[in-house]
Amino acid sequence: MAMEFEGRTEQEAVAKAAAELGSESFDVEVLEKAGGFFGKGKVRISVRKLSTIPDPMGYGNSSSRFGKDKAGAAYENKKPGQGEKAGKNKVLPTEKQLEDIADFVEGIIKHMGYAGKMKLGQQDAGKLVFEINSPQSGILIGKRGKNLDSLQLLANAYLGKIVGEDNPWRIILDVEGYRERREKSLIRMAHRVADETAKNGTSKLLEPLNPFERRLIHTAINNREDVITRSEGTGLYKRVRIVAKNAKRKSPS
């Protein structure tokens, strides 16, 4: 759930959000920025706490295309209210619905002029992880995973259409373990930039990232004593700023 804060500057509004939420790791979107006389103005921001950004990752294998392993069988037959853990309350989409999802994504890939086959991997914690096997894996992933993100967005929209908008599952698409490699690369980069900014007393904006990648950065940096993080910008692909706690008043981006 997003919360709104106002200040004379963006920094003041962010400070109010940090004081209210008790953390400086959150997404920030500037909703309104109005100037005024003698340098006085108003900035209104929308803030979403780190804990509300879902974790995108899920790994594992199943013995068949649609998860007819022990874990899958356990989920498929559970009714709401059963099970000791929250994840066990989720009922899998039917085999026909899973087939329809796979056919939908494979159809999109075919219309793009490429080949790709879907296989369902891990199913837990609200995730349905589909692996795509394709000779054009690099194209399906795209620059920084943007093509894969777009396919995943369409797959989840289709899941909502056939299962219902209140379904508890989220589809994660992966190609040749790209998600895990990307996660490790982002975490290494985040700590490298954090070391640099902490040493120089500066701040730095990272490349535009999707919500799940921003969450990885926030989580990786959250326990450090020398830097803080916040997200800036609008739209899906915002940018994370890593700021040294001893940052100078005017530091380079």
Cα torsion at 48, 184, 102, 92 (round to 10°)?
Answer: -60
Show the tokens assigned to 165.
């908008």
Nearest to 217 by CA among 236, 248, 239, 195: 239
pLDDT attached to residue 142: 92
The answer to whether the beta carbons of residues 214 and 26 sit under 8 Å apart is no
The answer to whether the beta carbons of residues 170 and 90 sit under 8 Å apart is no
Domain at 182-253: CATH code = 3.30.1370.50
CB-based contacts of 88: which residues, under 8 Å, 6+ apart?
74, 75, 78, 82
pLDDT attached to residue 64: 47
Helix/strand/coil for 21: helix
Cα dist from 178 to 104, 145, 161, 165, whole Å? 21, 8, 27, 28
Q: How far apart are the first and last CA of the chain?
A: 29
Tell me the C-alpha distance between 27 and 239, whole Å.
9
pLDDT attached to residue 234: 77
Q: Is the pTM value of this prediction over 0.85?
A: no
Superfamily of domain 70-176: K homology (KH) domain (3.30.300.20)
pLDDT attached to residue 100: 93
Average pLDDT per 10 consecutive residues for the chain, totaling 253 residues: 76 72 61 60 70 45 44 36 43 88 94 92 82 93 90 91 83 92 92 94 90 88 88 82 76 47
Domain ranges, ordered by start, for the chain? 1-52, 70-176, 182-253
Show the tokens assigned to 242.
């890593």
Tell me the C-alpha distance between 191 and 159, whole Å.
36
- Count other C-beta atoms under 10 Å from residue 48's C-beta: 18
Show the tokens assigned to 91.
């009922």
For 42, phi then psi, to 5°, come to -145, 135
DSSP code of 55?
A: P
pLDDT attached to residue 52: 52
Show the tokens assigned to 25.
């790791």
The answer to whether the beta carbons of residues 225 and 180 sit under 8 Å apart is no
